[in-house]
């Protein structure tokens, strides 16, 4: 996955200059052994399957929270068909967007990075002009993925679009933290499960060549009756053929961990939906999911969106803002405890 | 990662195996809410019937685990120590303290009179031994001890102590079980079952007046390595309020395959060859039934028990071994109880680790011979104990197995002599009557337990603990019967599973055979399928199948379709699809001259 970038992007530097603040030392992150090859220290993807559940709101505010915690954060609006992350941040119509980067052959990522007005937080806005941007071609997607992997930042946050198309899923599974936003309502939970399943199967598919299990994975993806339905089945099948490969496969699948965020929790019971979903997921699929916490339904958050400002800046002491801060610190703690760089 | 259908009841309910009853109920309640049909968490996660299946299994789990008896049985099936029959009321630390306390008293007592009619001092379970255990084991055993002691509070001090120790030592056994759960379970169900069977009965202590109950427990702990076998033997004669005094011998787990010795078990013989390295041996209080009226004997079944593999030589143990005193006393029958005086006694050297204590190794001979009227089994055990002061003593394991047939009582002798080498025991088995052979150390005893025999055989197992909630002696019979049945069932299930796996043999097909319709028909018939069944399963119309088998080439569909039919059919019959289709098509081509 780690493909060296032609040039390290200097986003935080550029932004710092733009803001007139003292220039922070740009940290070259990554494993010490790899020298100066730049890459984001951590990639966070925010998905959820269903639309309108607050993915962009969570992404924007999480970015703010992490930036406030001293991290250099690059937000990327990967919702190719319906970008509005810039709106959540109050950036206005950006003059450079992801589609500029995708369209131009020689474009560099740093050319499309725009400051957000929040220190250490910069943005790559989603495609606005190209109406066919949602239908990313394979080569474009590869280019984007590689480029993003090479971006320099402590955190790269990908705000994904709704749906479970491969364009979305591929961004999701490339991340270190796949955040799954759900609302405590059946429609959202339903989509979240579908999203999670799709992510795992996509991940399997990517690994399939390596393990020689193409046929098995394909049959798992086609949900005809009698075909493999769950990861257990897939693993069982692989195990029959090659126990060693199955073990590695299992380990790798377990490594990819989805973290849940329950948004718009209105009741106390809603607060525990994340834990319940994680438990049920584990029970049926044997894969761990983390519950990062719930964000209370908060009028302040809604008002902040109306004002086109992140609630974390607008009302830092509102319940929603504190919840997001808690989630951000949990993520930081996770990364802090996990010292091994995750290539 | 395993599907819930394969999870244990504990995993299903997401509770630790030691969870007390309330926790299980609480977990069940919580899970039922979580997996309620209208729960948002499972909405669209899986098919509704899968959720229903999960709920059904959870209910089943809750029902089993909240029923103490069933739970014990289930634990045995799992190969788990049955520790938690009784909820631990006493916090572990206090149990340890108590252990220490009684240890000291025991030591003191021991000093004064090694041989008294009643020995009360239990030789001591050195706290050190506890210390060596891994923390969790320690916790467990302590807990266990706590439980045990708790259970017995009402009884006299001695009983208390005796049972306390019993509990304690059982705790050890348990933990050893636990150490090798994988092996144990890997081995086979029947093994696990028989282990279960060996579970003993713990007799509730009745009144001290009638008898002095002592518990003898000898156990050796096997190290984690397969080489060691653990056997625990406890003899606990207890007086039951009824006139009948029963002495129960608990038989040692040795007779059953222990988890530790996976190797021995695999074969199903249930033999354990192991050298016992015992690290901790439990004290053996000994018991004798004092006042057992002779008449009582008729009704009494005595089990002789025995066995004990005791300590390993100190050097053998990784840590220095110490032997702690065991005192064994042999009390011949009390005066009142003339001949058939059950007596049991055992001693046990304890080897424990770090602190060397000079302890007398004890020798015990137990020859149990007791006439039992109704059951026809009697065993009386005589034990001689010699006390030797040897700082480093090694105990040899021995065992005993009394098998007694009604008509001809057989006496078994147990000798425990401090010998570096484990002694093999010979199991005596009287087929019609069942008996228990316990074995120990390296001798692979065969465990034969016929259901009938089960009544007598009591094995001491971790499961047994004197607990208020525990089983009473009277249950032993039922228990062991159940266990025997379970064993038999497990064995049958195993056989059945094996049979199931083997598909009906298909006729030998030479490698150059031509797959014509006739051969395909023979294979199908050998499989036991009717044409219609094959048609239903392959979704090939039976008309086509008939034509294929009849080699009516002209009536068959075009080659492309025919190939598909043949391949599906071959797959269904367990043949190589390519080979069948190629061969058949070649024939068809040749014979019909078309295509």
For residue A281, the chain B residue with the least C-alpha distance is B45
Condensed to tens digits (0 to 9), the pLDDT of residues A304-321 reads 988 888 999 989 999 999
Higher pLDDT, B333 or A47: A47
User: Which of B2, B3, B42 faces A280 most closely, judged by CB atoms?
Assistant: B42
Residue A53 contacts B, CB cutoff 8 Å: no
Strands laid side by side in the A121-124 sheet:
A113-115, A121-124, A73-78, A155-160, A42-47, A177-182, A258-265, A289-296
Residue B48's alpha-carbon distances to A283, B35, B165, in angstroms, are: 14, 10, 51
Report chain B residues whose CB lies below 8 A from the CB of A284.
3-4, 45-46, 50, 54
* Residue A54 DSSP class: S
Predicted confidence at residue B260, as pLDDT, reads 36
Report chain A residues whose CB lies below 8 A from the CB of B35.
280, 283
- Interaxial angle between packed helices B48-65 and A273-285, expressed in degrees from 0 to 180 and rounded to the nearest 10: 90
The H or E element that residue B520 is part of is helix B517-527
Phi and psi dihedrals of B459, rounded to 5?
Answer: -120, 150
Predicted confidence at residue B302, as pLDDT, reads 37
User: Which of B1, B43, B50 faces A186 most closely, judged by CB atoms?
Assistant: B43
> Which string of DSSP letters, residue by residue, matches B432-457?
SS-------SSS-PPP---GGGGGT-
Q: Calculate ∠ Cα B60-B66-B70, nearest 5°.
A: 75
CA atoms within 13 A on the CB side of A328: 24
Asked if the Cβ–Cβ distance from A193 to B54 is below 8 Å, we say no
CA distance B50 to chain A (A): 9
Q: How far apart are CA B133 and CA B166, in angstroms?
A: 17
Asked if the Cβ–Cβ distance from B44 to A194 is below 8 Å, we say yes
Report chain B residues whose CB lies below 8 A from the CB of A230.
3
Q: Which residues contact A80 (CB under 8 A, 6 or more apart)?
A: A98, A126, A127, A133, A134, A136, A161, A167
User: Which of A250, A277, A284 faces B46 most closely, judged by CB atoms?
Assistant: A284
User: Which of B35, B39, B44 faces A193 most closely, judged by CB atoms?
Assistant: B44
- CATH 3.40.50.300 is the classification of domain A38-184+262-281+288-337: yes
Tokens 């999960």, located at residue: B54
Predicted confidence at residue A60, as pLDDT, reads 93
Asked if the Cβ–Cβ distance from B54 to A284 is below 8 Å, we say yes
B547: left (phi over 0), alpha (psi -120 to 50) or beta: alpha
Whether the CB-CB separation of B417 and B435 falls below 8 Å is answered with: no
> In chain B, which stretches have pLDDT less than 70?
1-3, 81-480, 495-508, 593-595
Predicted confidence at residue A183, as pLDDT, reads 93
Predicted confidence at residue B589, as pLDDT, reads 81
How many A/B residue pairs have CB atoms within 8 Å? 55
* Residue B369 DSSP class: B
Whether the CB-CB separation of B526 and B506 falls below 8 Å is answered with: yes
Tokens 């916090």, located at residue: B91
Residue B351's alpha-carbon distances to B89, B357, B391, in angstroms, are: 29, 9, 10
Query: Which band of pLDDT confidence, cut at 50, 70 and 90, is reported for residue A295?
Result: very high
Whether the CB-CB separation of B440 and B397 falls below 8 Å is answered with: yes
Q: How far apart are CA B175 and CA B184, in angstroms?
A: 13
Higher pLDDT, A271 or B317: A271
Asked if the Cβ–Cβ distance from B4 to A284 is below 8 Å, we say yes
Whether residue A65 is predicted with pLDDT greater than 80 in this model: the reply is yes
Asked if the Cβ–Cβ distance from B45 to A280 is below 8 Å, we say yes
Tokens 């080659």, located at residue: B559
CA distance B585 to chain A (A): 27
Q: How far apart are CA B292 and CA B240, in angstroms?
A: 11
Tokens of B555: 């009536």
Condensed to tens digits (0 to 9), the pLDDT of residues A133-166 reads 667 778 888 888 888 888 888 899 999 988 888 8
Asked if the Cβ–Cβ distance from B2 to A232 is below 8 Å, we say yes
Report chain B residues whose CB lies below 8 A from the CB of A264.
none
* Residue B123 DSSP class: -
Whether residue A190 is predicted with pLDDT greater than 50 in this model: the reply is yes
Whether the CB-CB separation of B232 and B219 falls below 8 Å is answered with: yes
Predicted confidence at residue B572, as pLDDT, reads 86
Span A245-271, average pLDDT: 85
What is the ipTM for the molecules in this complex? 0.73
User: Which of B2, B44, B46 faces A286 most closely, judged by CB atoms?
Assistant: B2
Q: How far apart are CA B51 and CA A170, in angstroms?
A: 30
Strand pairing category for A177-182 and A42-47: parallel
Strand pairing category for B350-352 and B322-324: antiparallel
Predicted confidence at residue A329, as pLDDT, reads 92
Predicted confidence at residue A319, as pLDDT, reads 92
Q: How far apart are CA B308 and CA B588, in angstroms?
A: 74
Predicted confidence at residue A263, as pLDDT, reads 93
> Which string of DSSP letters, residue by residue, matches B200-267?
---PPP--TTT-B---EEEEE---SSTTB--EEEEEEEEE-SSS-EEEEEEB-GGGSPPTT-HHHHHT
Q: Best interface-test mutation with A: which of B32, B33, B43 has the largest number of A CBs within 10 A? A: B43
Coil, strand, or helix at residue B12? Answer: helix
Span A78-92, average pLDDT: 84
Q: How far apart are CA B534 and CA B540, in angstroms?
A: 8
Domains and CATH numbers, chain B: 4-66 (1.10.287.110), 73-496 (no CATH), 517-592 (1.10.260.40)
Strands laid side by side in the B386-387 sheet:
B386-387, B362-366, B414-416
Burial of residue B16 (CB within 10 Å: 0-12, 13-18, 19+) is: exposed
Phi and psi dihedrals of B590, rounded to 5?
Answer: -65, -50
Query: Which band of pLDDT confidence, cut at 50, 70 and 90, is reported for residue A338?
Result: very low
Query: Which band of pLDDT confidence, cut at 50, 70 and 90, is reported for residue A265?
Result: very high
Whether residue A173 is predicted with pLDDT greater than 70 in this model: the reply is yes
Higher pLDDT, A86 or B201: A86
CA distance B538 to chain A (A): 13
| Long-range contact set of residues B575-584: C-beta below 8 Å, sequence gap at least 24 | B575/B509, B575/B515, B575/B523, B579/B515, B580/B515, B580/B520, B583/B513, B583/B514, B583/B515, B584/B514, B584/B515, B584/B516, B584/B517, B584/B520, B584/B548
> Which string of DSSP letters, residue by residue, matches A195-240?
HHHHHHHHHHHHHHHHHT-HHHHHHHHS--TTS--SHHHHHHHHHH
Report chain B residues whose CB lies below 8 A from the CB of A250.
1
């Amino acid at each position: 996955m780690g493909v060296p970038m032609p040039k390290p992007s200097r986003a935080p530097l550029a932004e710092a200059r733009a803001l007139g603040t003292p220039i922070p030392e740009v940290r070259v992150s990554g494993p010490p052994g790899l020298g100066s090859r730049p890459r984001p220290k951590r990639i966070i993807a925010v998905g959820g399957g269903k639309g309108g559940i607050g993915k962009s709101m969570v992404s924007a505010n999480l970015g703010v929270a992490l930036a406030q915690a001293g991290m250099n954060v690059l937000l990327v609006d990967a919702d190719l068909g319906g970008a509005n992350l810039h709106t959540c941040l109050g950036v206005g119509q950006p003059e450079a967007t992801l589609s500029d980067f995708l369209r131009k052959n020689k474009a560099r990522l740093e050319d499309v990075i725009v400051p957000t007005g929040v220190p250490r937080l910069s943005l790559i806005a989603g495609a606005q002009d190209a109406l066919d941007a949602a239908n990313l071609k394979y080569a474009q997607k590869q280019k984007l993925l590689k480029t993003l992997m090479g971006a320099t930042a402590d955190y790269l946050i990908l705000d994904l679009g709704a749906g479970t198309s491969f364009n979305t899923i591929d961004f999701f599974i490339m991340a270190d933290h796949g955040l799954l936003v759900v609302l405590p309502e059946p429609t959202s939970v339903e989509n979240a499960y579908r999203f999670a399943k799709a992510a795992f199967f996509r991940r399997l598919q990517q690994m399939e060549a390596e393990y020689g299990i193409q046929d098995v994975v394909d049959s798992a993806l086609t949900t005809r009756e009698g075909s493999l339905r769950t990861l257990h089945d897939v693993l069982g099948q692989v195990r029959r053929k090659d126990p060693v490969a199955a073990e590695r496969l299992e380990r790798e699948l377990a490594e990819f961990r989805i973290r849940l965020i329950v948004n718009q929790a209105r009741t106390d019971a809603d607060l525990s939906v994340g834990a319940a979903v994680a438990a049920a997921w584990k029970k049926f699929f044997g894969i761990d999911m983390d519950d990062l916490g719930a964000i209370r339904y908060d009028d302040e958050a809604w008002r902040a969106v109306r004002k086109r400002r992140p609630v974390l800046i607008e009302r830092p002491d509102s319940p929603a803002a504190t919840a997001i801060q808690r989630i951000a610190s949990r993520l930081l703690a996770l990364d802090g405890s996990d010292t091994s760089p995750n290539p | 990662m395993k599907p819930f259908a394969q999870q244990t009841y504990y995993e299903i309910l997401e509770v630790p195996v030691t969870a007390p009853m309330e926790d299980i109920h609480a977990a069940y309640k919580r899970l039922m809410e979580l997996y309620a049909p209208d729960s948002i968490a499972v909405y669209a996660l899986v098919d509704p019937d899968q959720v229903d299946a999960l709920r059904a299994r959870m209910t089943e789990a809750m029902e089993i685990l909240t029923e103490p008896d069933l739970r014990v049985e289930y634990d045995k099936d799992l190969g788990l120590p049955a520790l938690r029959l009784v909820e631990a009321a006493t916090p572990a630390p206090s149990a340890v303290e108590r252990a220490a306390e009684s240890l000291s008293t025991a030591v003191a007592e021991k000093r004064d009179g090694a041989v008294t009619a009643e020995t009360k001092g239990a030789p001591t379970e050195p706290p050190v031994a506890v210390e060596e255990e891994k923390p969790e084991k320690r916790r467990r055993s302590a807990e266990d001890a706590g439980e045990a002691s708790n259970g017995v509070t009402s009884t006299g001090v001695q009983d208390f102590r005796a049972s306390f120790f019993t509990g304690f030592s059982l705790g050890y056994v348990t933990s050893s079980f636990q150490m090798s759960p994988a092996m144990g379970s890997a081995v086979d169900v029947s093994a696990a079952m028989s282990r279960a069977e060996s579970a003993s009965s713990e007799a509730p202590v009745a009144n001290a007046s009638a008898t002095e109950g002592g518990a003898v427990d000898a156990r050796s702990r096997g190290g984690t390595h397969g080489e060691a076998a653990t056997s625990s033997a406890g003899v606990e004669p207890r007086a039951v309020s009824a006139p009948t005094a029963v002495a129960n011998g608990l038989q040692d787990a040795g007779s059953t395959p222990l988890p530790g010795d996976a190797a021995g078990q695999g074969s199903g013989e249930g033999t354990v060859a192991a050298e016992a390295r015992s690290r901790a041996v439990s004290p053996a209080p000994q018991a004798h039934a004092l006042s057992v009226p002779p008449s009582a004997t008729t009704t009494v079944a005595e089990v002789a028990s025995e066995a004990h593999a005791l300590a390993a030589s100190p050097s053998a143990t990784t840590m220095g071994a110490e032997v702690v005193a065991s005192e064994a006393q042999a009390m011949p029958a009390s005066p009142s109880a003339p001949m058939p005086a059950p007596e049991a006694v055992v001693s046990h050297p304890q080897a424990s680790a770090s602190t060397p204590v000079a302890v007398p190794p004890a020798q015990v001979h137990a020859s149990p011979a007791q006439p039992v009227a109704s059951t026809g089994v009697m065993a009386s055990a005589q034990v001689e104990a010699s006390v030797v002061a040897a700082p480093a003593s090694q105990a040899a394991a021995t065992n005993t197995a009394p098998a007694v047939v009604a008509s001809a009582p057989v006496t078994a002798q147990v000798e425990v002599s401090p010998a570096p080498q484990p002694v093999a025991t010979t199991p005596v088995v009287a087929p019609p009557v069942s008996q228990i052979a316990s074995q120990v150390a390296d001798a692979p005893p065969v465990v034969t337990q016929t259901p009938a025999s089960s009544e007598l055989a009591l094995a001491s197992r971790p499961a047994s603990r004197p607990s208020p909630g525990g089983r009473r002696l009277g249950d032993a019979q039922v228990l062991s019967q159940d266990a025997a049945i379970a064993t038999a069932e497990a064995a049958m299930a195993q056989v059945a599973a094996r049979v199931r796996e083997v598909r009906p043999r298909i006729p030998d097909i030479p490698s150059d055979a031509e797959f014509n319709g006739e051969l395909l028909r023979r294979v199908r018939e050998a499989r036991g399928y009717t044409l219609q069944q094959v048609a239903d399963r392959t979704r090939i119309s039976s008309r086509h199948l008939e034509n294929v088998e009849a080699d009516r080439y002209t009536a068959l569909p075009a080659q492309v379709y025919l190939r598909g039919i043949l391949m599906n059919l071959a797959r269904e019959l367990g043949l190589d699809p390519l080979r069948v289709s190629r061969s058949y098509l070649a024939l068809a081509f040749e014979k019909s001259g078309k295509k």
